[in-house]
Amino acid sequence: FGEQVKAQRIEELKTHVQKKVNCVNRKIKLGITKIANIYRDPHILAQFIAQLLLNRISFRKAMQKGIELVEQADTKGVQIQTAGRIDGKEIARVEWIREGRVPLQTIRAKIDYCSYPVVTIWGVFGIKIWIFLNND
């Protein structure tokens, strides 16, 4: 029963993408892969933190929660930076938090990066995330 629902949702997604791309007469090959550790990807983590900020959770709690999730995903370090009118204050500022190692000056280091803007009721926030995976 579950496989039928998944197949049906994949077909709905495929037709939706075909309509958006405006190529209904062509076939689109859509491959779906499951990500093992989703919070090793900085884009997914940024979307999660953005959702917390949109729900009016404190930016410090949101960044701490993001760091906890990344640490569970077995990484060597993470740095999260938020910028904008934090907590609705009049003046914009930048706050960042780091856990573990994030060697930005080392060229060999395998670091994933994401910059993600979020439109809140206070204005536009910027979220930047660096995730240090390994230096192999």
Whether the model pTM is above 0.85: no
Q: Is it the case that residue 25 has pLDDT exceeding 90?
A: no
> Could you read off the pLDDT of 63-77 as tens digits, one per residue?
999 999 999 988 999
Q: How far is it, in rounded angstroms, from Cα 74 to Cα 5?
A: 32
- Mean confidence (pLDDT) of the chain: 89
Contacts (Cβ under 8 Å, ≥6 apart) of 86: 59, 92, 93, 95, 125
> Could you read off the pLDDT of 82-125 as tens digits, one per residue?
999 988 899 999 999 999 999 999 999 999 999 999 999 889 99
